[in-house]
Structures are given as C-alpha cells and as structure tokens.
Structure 1
C-alpha cells in the first residue's frame, strides 16, 4: 500500500493548515467556547462547506467530492493543530458516515446534501448511560407504529447532539438493530459542557415518531455501526495527531524561552531527554495514524486492527505527550490562560471517544485470536 500523499492531498492539507493559522487560532476557540451558542460558528461551518471540506468523503451525486478517509484524516489533523471548534468529526464522520454507508441514494440526497453545503449539521446518538462502547450495547427501542416507528430511550454524551439538525439514532427493533434519522427538534436535549470546552447532549427519546423512510436500511445496521465507529476512532487519532504535534512544538518553544537559574531551561539535559521522548511518541503516532486513515475504508479485519492499534497509541503515546507538555510547562500549564492546557483536555476527550484504551486492546486481541 502506498502511503505517500499526492499533490491534491498535500494542497488540501496546506489549505486547512493556513485556515487554522490565519482564521481559527486558539484564541478564537476561547472566544467561541465562552460565548452563548452551540460552541461553534455557523458562518464558519458554511465557509467549510463552500471550501468543499464537508463534501470530501461523499459521492458526487449528492454534491460530494468522492474522496476517501485519507482526505478526511488530513483535514482533521490540521483542524486539531489549532483547536478549530466546528463539529467536523461529530457531523461529517459520526453523523455523515451512517447515512453514507447505510442510506439509500434518496436518503443521502435528503440528509447529506444540506450538510455538505454547510446549511445543517449532523450527530450520531449511539452511546447510552451505564453502557460501554460495543456497537450492539443498545437499550433504546424502536417499535413499529403503522408504516413508521416509535423510539424510546436515552442517549448519553452525544457529540454535537445539542445543535444537530438531524440525529442518527441507534435503537433495537423487532428485526434487530436499526439506525433512524431523527429531526433534532423532535427530541428532548440537555446541553452539556465537556471537559475540553466542546458541547454535547443527553438525548431523550420519549415516544418520538419516525417515518419509515427515515430508517437507514441499505445495509445491516450493526455492520454499518461498526464501520462508522471505526471511522470515528480513526478520526479521533487524526485530530489527536494534530494536537500532539502542536503540543510538542509549543513545549519546545517554551523550553527555549523560559529561564531558570539564569539560563534557558531547554539547556537542561534531563528536559532535553524528555523532549526527545515526546518526539518519539509523536512519530509513532504518525505511523499508526497514516495506516489507520489509509485502511479504515476497507472495513475488514485488517482495517479494524489498524484502527485499534492507532487508538491504543493515541491513548498511550498521545497522552504521554500531553502529560509531558503539562509537566514541562510547570504550574502555568494547567491554567486556562495557557494554551497547552486546552490541548491536554481535548486529547483526554479524544482518547475515550469511539472506544477507550481497554476496549481497543480487547478488540485487537479478539481479532488476532479470530485470524
């Protein structure tokens, strides 16, 4: 498999990187986080649509670019470098991929086309209270009601669930797991503040009626959900890789400027060794990130292994980098005024989203046994 980027992919990554540096700095993240509203700006989301970033993985028939997850991963990497708050991971990946993989052409046109233009956003409501990460761990129910369905249950910590125009809900029907596209205004939503400054929602389904044509049934729902969560995990790794790079650079800059005992602390050999350890972990993360985004579209055993290996490195290596960055900054690193603390918190959130370390270690072992 060729892991080299082509010219178009390099240009895409540079365009997103330039956007982050010029138009969406960490200071913008702070302002949006502290302001009233969804925690991101609709005008910027629409601009992302105009730039074509929201269309990347979707078919040309619905206004998409027809690309792969490699391009999606490159975008997420660059967005992570400056903490761009718009819900690219939550909407394009977690919300969009169920419709891409499990929806009919008509459903893709109906639900993806407006999001591609930046007019709407999406969310995936899968996780539930007191349940872990397995795709089949769903207690919410879908009961047949004439030609449609009635949904009951509660979904926890839904990324972008507080603002999404359409929410893809996983619920158990009499014929097995189902995925249903529910209008955001049809459910009861409790907006939650997350540790990383983003917002999410608890979503309550209390007799929510859904028309028959809102069920995504082009493929078996559990098969689709496994692939969606793998794409989500790969997206977490991509964004986390961007975070790790920024934390390494920020820490090196700090070591070169901070003085103690009359000298730059970067001259202390012990701190140089710790910086090298951070660099090594970032390079390891780069390797597994590259393989994960290149393989995840395959949807096979090899892809699942690559994703779980990458998520494990994010949990171990990514968190090592973030913790060392805090340590080397000293007490200032944990204050809200210090940028490094914002990156640390976002890394912590990404490590648990779409499967934590324990889940992916266990799954990797099970996949190896099954081979």
Structure 2
C-alpha cells in the first residue's frame, strides 16, 4: 500500500505550515489563552486560507477534499498548537449537514465554507458518559411545521462563539439532529484547561430546523470524523513536543555534559518516538477507514482512539518528566502541548470508553485487528 502523499497534499501541508510559522507563534497563542481563549479571529484567518471549506462540497462553495486532506491539515494545526475549533466547525459540521435536506445545506454550507458561520455539534450530556444513544434532550413539532428543542448540552466546543448548534434530541422515539441558532439558546461559556473555550448550552423550546429525522447513523459518522481529526491533531502535537524535548535535552547540561548523552534518557526518548509512530500509523488507519460500512468503521475508529489515547498520555508525561520543573510552567510551550494532549485524550470518548467499544465489537474474533 502506498502511503506517500500527493503533490497537492504536500502543498496543502506547506501552506498550513507557513501560516502557523508566520501568524501563530506560541506567544500569540499564550496571549489568547490568558485572555480567555476566544478563537473566532483565529478561525477567520483559517477561513481566509480556504480551510473552512475543505470538507464542504464544491456545489456549496467548498473544496470537496477527502479525509486525507483533513488529516494533513489537522496534523499541522496540532504541530502549531492552534487553539481554534477547526475540527468541530470545518470537518464535523459539514459531515453532519451532508445528511440534511438540500434547502438546509444550501442555507448553511456556503456560510460554513467562507467562514461567516461557525456551526458546532452539541451532543454531550451530563449523564451520557460518551454514549451517543444517551440523549435526554427532546424535540417537539411546532404548529408552523418546524420544531422546538429542549434540553441541556455540556462542554460544547466554542459554544459561546458559535452562530448555531447541531443538536441531538429525541423525537418520536428516535434520535434526530436539529439545527438551533445561538440566539435561541442560553449559553454559558468558560475557558478550558488547554487555552480554548467551551460552553454549557441550554435549550428551552428553542426554534429548530430538522437536519435529519433518524440521526443516529449521521451522529455516529460525525463523531467518527471528529475522532479521526483528533487522532491527526494528536500526531502533530506529539511530533512537535518530541522535537521540543530533544532540543531541550541537547542544550540542558548536567555534570558538564548535555543530558541527551545519558543512555537512560536516550532509551526513554526511543520509547517516546515509538509511541509517536504507533499513533501515526493508527491515525492513518482511522482516516482510511472513514469510508467503510458503519460496523467496521466504528470499531476501527475506536481502535485508533485507544492507541492515540495511550500514546498521547505516554508522550505527554514522559516529555514533561524529561524537562524537569520547567516542563510544567505556564510560560513554556511544552506544558501547553501536554495540556492539549490531555484534553484530546478525552475528546469524543476517553481511552477506557473506546476500549469498551472495541471489546463490544469483538464478537467473532479474539484479535483486536482481525
């Protein structure tokens, strides 16, 4: 199998890398985090590069690129520690809206593609424990032919900066997806540990547009797109944190020599590199499995999330320990990579949750990868 990237994909990677190098230094990111984590301006800059329309079909003003291009972009955004809700708004939302009626797509996809609308998924509930089927929010048909949504959603990415939410809610015994504009919801935003923002969002008979009536399959696919994006971002984060750590070890001296010469520490760095490569291979696996039928796709994405969860935790902890005290200081970039890796380990289901998902789907084999 050929894992080489095409010239167009390499050009896309270079374009994102140049933007990160020129316009998103660690100092800028640190300043945004200290100011509360607002990222709409950063997302607007990504939209100016055309990246907001990466996954939007060409018929609606986007580029219609595949999951591989999305993976390339997410890796570079991870390396640059870019704290913008790119995966949620530019990858997950278009994937969910692909199941919507043409009129809904025509109303929202062009605005997503040009960056004028920030639409994010609101599906997590307090008692759900990452289970997509655990939905207590409800949708009710309105006299005017529309719908209203009532319920509460937690940890909605960039919820207080979004223009609209795609909300999972029960209607007539099924889980449907509904689009609710932010003005119709009660939103309480707060900064997250990794320097971004999230929100608690409450809907009280909020006017809504139905995206899909039976939305369980669409919601599962949308979250799988999110998992693949998280995996790719994690690879970029680990790559860069490893490079930062090696650079530090080559300059930090103990007993008159660089600590990179100590054999025990070299062995630990070798273990870190191995975990990065294991994560990279499973990120590729996740991206390439997005086009598979749901049973195979869901198991593959959970397998990838298990490996990435383990790799991100190992790499983050080892690199911080190899730095010593400076590794946890707020002024040092390494600590922020560690925080982001820790947050990603819990995004779209933590490692323990996905280990259970893999186990539940191993009904006919004892081999995880069979």
- TM-score calculated relative to the size of structure 1: 0.94
| Unpaired segments ≥5 residues, structure 2 | 366-370
Match of 1:239 in 2: 233
Deviation at 1:297, TM superposition (A): 3.1
* SS of 1:65 mapped into structure 2: coil
Asked if residue 115 in structure 1 is aligned to residue 112 in structure 2, the reply is yes
Structure 1: 4+ residue segments shifted above 6 A: none
Match of 2:368 in 1: none
* SS of 2:248 mapped into structure 1: helix
2-side partners of 1:66 and 1:96: how far apart?
10
Deviation at 1:115, TM superposition (A): 1.6
2-side partners of 1:241 and 1:366: how far apart?
26
CA contact (8 A) 2:55 2:94 kept: no
Match of 1:77 in 2: 75
Match of 2:210 in 1: 215
CA contact (8 A) 1:3 1:291 kept: no
Indicate which of 45, 53, 56 corresponds to 2:43.
45
- TM-score calculated relative to the size of structure 2: 0.95
| Most deviating of 236-245 and 64-73 | 64-73
2-side partners of 1:72 and 1:297: how far apart?
14
CA contact (8 A) 2:186 2:201 kept: yes
1-side partners of 2:361 and 2:326: how far apart?
43
Q: Aligned pair count?
A: 364
CA deviation map 1:134-156 (0-9, x unaligned) = 21111011122211222111100
After superposition, residues 1-371 of structure 1 pair within 5 angstroms as 2-35=2-35, 39-42=38-41, 44-100=42-98, 102-146=99-143, 147-210=145-208, 214-217=209-212, 220-369=214-363
CA deviation map 1:74-112 (0-9, x unaligned) = 101100111112210121123332112x21222112112
| Unpaired segments ≥5 residues, structure 1 | none
CA contact (8 A) 1:16 1:79 kept: yes
| Most deviating of 116-125 and 246-255 | 116-125
2-side partners of 1:28 and 1:190: how far apart?
25
* SS of 2:361 mapped into structure 1: helix
* SS of 1:368 mapped into structure 2: coil
CA contact (8 A) 1:89 1:235 kept: yes
State the superposition RMSD in angstroms: 1.5
